[in-house]
A = this chain, B = another copy of it.
Amino acid sequence: MAEATVLEQVVLGIVWKRGPCTSYAVCKEFLDSPSSHWSGSAGAVYPLLRRLDQRGLVRATAGRRGHRPSTTYVLTAKGRAALRRWLSPPIDPAAAETTYDPIRTRAYFLGVLTAAKRRAFAEEIEALLEHQVGVVEAECERYRRAGDEFSRLAMRGAVHEVRARLTWIRELKAALKKESS
Contact = CB atoms under 8 A, between A and B. Distances in A.
Contacts of A132: 96-98
A109 to B, nearest CB: 4
B112 A13 contact: yes
B171 A156 contact: yes
A113 interface: yes
Contacts of A150: 107-111
Contact of A35 (B97, B111, B112): B97
A149 B164 CA distance: 20
A111 B123 CA distance: 40
A31 interface: no
A157 B161 contact: no
Interface string A142-158: 00000001110110111
Contact of A95 (B6, B96, B103, B149): B103
Interface of A: 6, 10, 13, 16-17, 34-37, 80, 83-84, 86-113, 117, 120-121, 123-125, 128-129, 131-132, 136, 149-151, 153-154, 156-158, 160-165, 167-169, 171-172, 175
Given A96-B131, A99-B161, A108-B154, 10 more contacts: A10-B105, A35-B98, A91-B124, A98-B158, A98-B162, A99-B99, A101-B158, A107-B153, A110-B150, A160-B171
